[in-house]
Amino acid sequence: MIAPMLKFQLTALSSERAQLLRALQKTQLVELTFSEEEQHASAADVAALSERLVRVKKSIEFLTAQADAAADKKSAKALLSDQIVLDFEAFAAVAQREEALMRLVAETEAWAEQLAANRAERHKTEAQKGQLAPYAGVSEPFCAFADTRSTRCFFGLIDEGALSALEAFVQATAPVDRTVYAGAKQVPVAVFCHRSVEEETEKALSELAFARCPFLYEASAAQELARLDEASARLRAEEAALVRGACERLPSLKDLKIYSDYLDSELEKAEDYERFFHTGATFTASGYLPAADEEAVRAAIAAVTEAYILQCAAPTEEDKPPTLLKNRGPARAAEFVTNMYSVPDYREFDPNGFVFVFFMIFFGLIMADIGYGVLLFVAGFVLARRRKVNDGVKKLASILAYGGIFTAIFGALFGSCFGFSLYHFLPDPTSGSRTDVLTILLGCLALGLLQITVGYILSAVNSFRKRRVADAICDALTWVLFCVGLFFAVFNFLTEYFAIPVPAGVRVFFDVMTLPGVVMLGVGLLGAALTAGRKEKLIGKFTKGFGAVYGIINLLSDVLSYARLFGLMLSGMIIAQQFNGIGTDLISAGTVGYVFGPVVMIIGHAFNLAMGVLGAYIHDCRLQYIEFFSKFYTGEGALFTPLGSRRQYVYFTK
């Protein structure tokens, strides 16, 4: 359900502003709002807090990055946990250690700077080594390859394949000589020529892609490489020492994360204050709070000061209150699915209860296996219990756990366990029987028609909540009547046409309801067509009515979308059976098969389970978002974000 909200306005003394905002922050019950007129430039304290927060976050990033280099990686990884649970007093007490924490930040900044400089120097050294490597076979110092008054020396690298061309040029040109050193693909060469043939020699070398040596060291390549190896080893040792020093500070990472969130909360309050309407002595804050918690907020304010005015009133039609969802149990888990699409609008019906029911039925129908269901439930339950806070990971784990329950239920109905057919309570979709296949397929379509009908009912509920009675009747209930009438009108026809066995009592009931169903179908369609253009003029009334009749095609198309439930269920069962068949064939083949058969089955079922869960989740969400939500859901709401909720690492205990 969506909690009723109150709009409030608080006026108090500016001198007590910090204490009041901290008290409101502690309640986690107040969301502040601001008008365009309340936008002001940031004050100096906002800039200072922002600068400090940036420094702390960079320190956290630096220390986190060093965890992989820690000697005890398991312990280091444990320190990176993002689940820090504290009460508000412990959270606020981090301010008392601000000086020590900022010293740690300064240390990490120095480490980061030294480490960056060290790595830059080491990379430069490694690059130089790469450039010198081709000259390793040259024993003479680089400075020895110099020009004289009458000769030129061309010392550098040439491709091994060009040596024959170079040799031919040297033999054909005088006075020119060359020395070739040992090398790989790039061969060091020294070409000496008289200055009279300098240009000719330089041109020939250029055509052979000759690369002149850039080095003028007084040492040889081997000596220079040895020096660079020593420098590289020294830089690596220094880097390792810096990393070890950083890793020794990893236990302080938790405090830095708490301090980061504390600074963020202080920055939030400072930014908010700059946007309040205030005079020299007072300030006025506006926002929303849950109606049920009005007294708790008043008590929190009164505990700080008696000099305040707090006015609370119900939101007007022009106001856009935030959405605070107050669901429990299964419906709370469904919020994860709904909010992925859009948060419910404050004034519409909360669909999460219905989303849970249909999502889980469809999920269980797609997976439909006892073994898979048990695995999903255990994995989801364990993961949800291990998460200390109700974040996205825990909500997703809860969905998997509930999905596992429904998967096991449908698996029991179909008698399937890890692809093995144990018994047949419901028709077997893999039997190849036309009757079994059509029975399940039509059952999936009937579920789709049911969900769409519920969607139209919820559309009517939303219209009634907004006091739009005509919209509820003409745009929603007429289609409810059509859907219900369609079900009664075609049930006996479809079951007889496809030779689907139906109990005699059920067939008699639908024989009686066929004519009323046709009447309901006709009345609903006629009502929708005649009232669709009630808000239009002249020709618009006709075109809207025609559009309503044409809407039957869209409705039936939406119903057919639910055939994917059968397709996904059938594919999952067949894949499981195929892996079972391969595994049992290997086992029956002999001794080696006793090893490889179970391995194939385990790997196959793991793959099928992973793909099945992914497909079930995606297609299940699609049915909710497109076929269901399109009938009634507005969305576009904004989640209630109370003052002090701008935290990245810390979660408050209740």
Going along the chain from its start, the domains and CATH numbers come out as 146-212 (3.30.70.2750), 352-426+565-628 (no CATH), 430-560 (no CATH)
Q: Quick one: pLDDT at residue 652?
A: 81
Beta partners for residue 493, in sequence order: none
For 461, counting Cβ atoms within 10 Å of its Cβ (0-12 exposed, 13-18 middle, 19+ buried), the class is: middle
**What pLDDT does residue 290 have?**
92
Q: Are strands 308-313 and 84-86 parallel, antiparallel or unpaired?
A: unpaired
In terms of Cβ atoms closer than 10 Å to its own Cβ (0-12, 13-18, 19+), residue 55 is: middle
Tell me the pLDDT band of 79, cut-offs 50, 70 and 90.
Answer: low
Mean pLDDT over each residue of the chain, to the nearest integer: 87
**CB-CB contact of 608 with 572 (8 Å):** yes
- Mean pLDDT, rounded, for 518-530: 87
**Residue-level pLDDT at 72:** 56
Which CA distances in Å does 458 have to 190, 256, 274, 421, 488? 88, 48, 43, 39, 21
pLDDT of 15 over the 90 cut: no
Give bridge partners of residue 212 from the DSSP assignment.
156
Q: Which of 31-35, 165-169, 478-482 has the lowest mean pLDDT?
A: 31-35
* Confidence (pLDDT) at 586: 86
Find the radius of gyration of the CA atoms of the chain.
38
pLDDT of 38 above 70: no
pLDDT over 50 (residue 124): yes
Sorting pLDDT into bands at 50, 70 and 90, what band is 560? very high
Band (pLDDT 50/70/90 cuts) for residue 622 is: very high
Q: Express each pLDDT in 598-621 by its tens digit.
A: 899 999 999 999 999 999 999 999
Q: 149: how many CB neighbours lie within 10 A of its CB?
A: 5
pLDDT, position 620: 94
The answer on pLDDT for 39 being more than 70 is no
Model pLDDT, residue 643: 87
pLDDT bracket for residue 41 (50, 70, 90): very low
- Give 153's pLDDT tier (boundaries 50, 70, 90): very high
- The answer, yes or no, to whether residue 70 has pLDDT greater than 70, is no
Q: How crowded is residue 501: how many other Cβ atoms within 10 Å of its Cβ?
A: 9
Q: In a 3-state reduction of DSSP, which class is residue 287?
A: strand
Q: In percent, how much of the chain has pLDDT > 70?
A: 93
Interval 448-506: pLDDT, tens: 999 999 999 999 999 898 888 988 888 889 999 999 999 999 999 898 888 888 888 88
C-alpha span between 137 and 156 (Å, rounded): 13
CA–CA dist 186, 163 (Å, integer): 10
pLDDT in tens, 264-290: 888 888 877 777 777 778 888 888 999
Please, how many CA atoms are within 13 Å of residue 410, restricted to the half-sphere of its CB?
A: 24
Q: What is the mean pLDDT of residues 144-172?
A: 89
Q: pTM score, two decimals? A: 0.79
